[in-house]
Amino acid sequence: MQKLTLALVAHDAKKDDMADFVAMHENAIRPFILFATGTTGGRVMERCPSLSVTRLKSGPLGGDQQIGAMIAEGKIDALFFFVDPLSPHPHDVDVKALMRLALVYNIPMALNRATAERLIVTFDP
């Protein structure tokens, strides 16, 4: 069976949460092919050195758009995007575009840790 692909993205205030989440669910996450925006991917690999994560560009430099393009190409099966709703982001249009494409292509998308905790247990990658 083809491996499922999971994209990980976290705003700065949520990167600790993302690293904790991945560490806590490392065994469940290991079977996925993992992609992440640049800084998020770096933090995840620092915390879980045995995981292999393909790092794209940092979000503000186009990483969100790269993941959006992969979703449009059918290359991403699920998106875990831990959003910080309390800070302004210079690339907010990219953030919205990424969420929009996840909606257009109807892929499972967790926008906070509580949802990701519930979603991760549903996968059999």
Ligand X SMILES: O=C(CO)COP(=O)(O)O
Distance CA 105, CA 78 (A): 10
State in angstroms the smallest separation of the CB of 36 from ligand X: 7
CA distance 43 to 15: 7
CA 112/CA 77 separation, integer angstroms:
17
Q: For tokens 């709703």, what's the residue?
A: 85
Cβ closest to ligand X, residue 79 vs residue 95: 95
Catalytic: which of 64, 84, 94, 124? 64
Provide the binding-site residues for ligand X, judged by CB under 6 A.
9, 11, 37-40, 58-60, 63-64, 91, 95
12 is known as an active-site residue: no
Residue 39 annotated in ligand binding: yes
Q: Are 32 and 1 in contact (CB under 8 A)?
A: no
Q: Which residues are annotated as a binding site for substrate?
A: 11, 15, 37-40, 58-59, 91
Active-site residue set: 64
